[in-house]
Structure formats: C-alpha cells, structure tokens
C-alpha cells in the first residue's frame, strides 16, 4: 500500500538544493517512491508534487492535470515558447501565499516514466505551468523567488493552484 508522505515546508534547506539525477529508474525503490508521491498528491489535492517536497532530493516529479497522472523522472525541458503568460501559483510547501508568475506558455519535456521508459511530450496550458513549477523544485527554486508580487491566502482564497 502506498504511504501518504509528509510535505516539507519552505524553510527546510532540502527545498533549496539541486536534486540529484535518479540512477536506478524503474527499480523497486523508485517505483515505491513514485507510488507514495502519487498517493500523497491525490490525498492533498495537489496538481503536482516534486520529490524534494517529500524529503527525497532526486529528480522526480508527478503531475495530476485534468484527471491524468504523469510521472517524470530525470526530466529535461526544451523548446520553451517565446510567448509568456502570468498565472497565479501557490505551492504545497509555501502555505497561505500565492502570486502571479510569468512563464512560457508551451514547452517540450523529455523524461523517463515510472518504468524507466523514455517519453517526450509537448505541453501547454496548466500542464506546461505545473511542469515548470516542478522543474524549479528540482533545481532548488520556489515560485516566491519569481512571482511579480505575493498575496496572503485571505486575499486569494480559492484562486491559487497548489503545486
Ligand atoms: Zn511547489
């Protein structure tokens, strides 16, 4: 049975470290971590979750957009669109804060799935947004570093997407 993991909060230094590449994708340990991350993401209604947010400093994130769950191991993003848009982001590791972040609208991402099989997709909309937010987590960045401004949850209740 997958476990529900504890979400690491903002001041923890693990969120500021560059996460390490996964050397054994598809192994039982990695499959277990991925299953626990997916269960945790669903339990807390997150649209995405990065491994450092559950205390594992490795290059994995999971995404739950439009009822589709995807797993990205050792992801690489390329071909960002030149058109950018702001979108109000919130983060599971930064409670009660949200703010607009400008990011490219579209991108291409290459990664390995939970079985270690390579795939490549072109993403747009919320999926492209979540992928970029999660990639930042793997590089030790948080949306509060990039937001144009920050608001407390009282002002933005219900508006934020927690990633
Ligand atoms: Zn986040």
Tell me the pLDDT tens digit for each residue of 93-138. Answer: 998 899 999 999 999 999 999 999 999 999 999 999 999 999 999 9
- For residue 134, indicate whether it is catalytic: yes
Domain that holds residue 43: 13-162
Q: Give the total number of structural domains in the chain.
A: 1
pTM across the whole model: 0.94
Q: Which residue stretches of the chain are H helix? A: 28-43, 125-138, 143-146, 153-156
Distance 90 CA to ligand 1 centre (A): 7
Q: Do 112 and 36 contact (CB within 8 A), yes or no?
A: no
CB of 22 closer than 8 Å to CB of 73: yes
Q: Is residue 2 part of a domain?
A: no
Has residue 7 been placed in a domain?
Answer: no
* 8 is a domain residue: no
Give the active site residue among 10, 134, 148, 155: 134
15: nearest Cα among 146, 134, 131, 96: 134
Q: How far is the CA of 162 from the centre of ligand 1 (A)?
A: 7
Q: Is residue 92 part of a domain?
A: yes
Q: Is the residue at 66 inside a domain?
A: yes
């Amino acid at each position: 049975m997958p476990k529900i993991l504890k979400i690491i909060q903002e001041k923890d230094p693990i969120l500021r470290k560059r996460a390490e590449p996964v050397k054994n994708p598809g192994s039982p340990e990695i499959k277990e971590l991925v299953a626990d991350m997916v269960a945790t993401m669903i339990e807390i209604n997150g649209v995405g979750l990065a491994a450092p947010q559950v205390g594992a400093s490795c290059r994995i994130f999971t995404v739950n957009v439009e009822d589709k769950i995807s797993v990205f191991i050792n992801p690489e993003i390329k071909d960002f669109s030149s058109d950018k848009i702001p979108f109000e982001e919130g983060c599971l590791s930064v409670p009660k804060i949200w703010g607009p972040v400008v990011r490219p609208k579209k991108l291409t991402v290459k990664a390995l799935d939970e079985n270690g099989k390579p795939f490549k997709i072109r993403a747009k909309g919320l999926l492209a947004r979540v992928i970029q937010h999660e990639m930042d987590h793997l590089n030790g960045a948080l949306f509060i570093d990039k937001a144009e401004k920050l608001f407390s949850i009282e002002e933005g209740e219900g508006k934020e997407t927690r990633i």
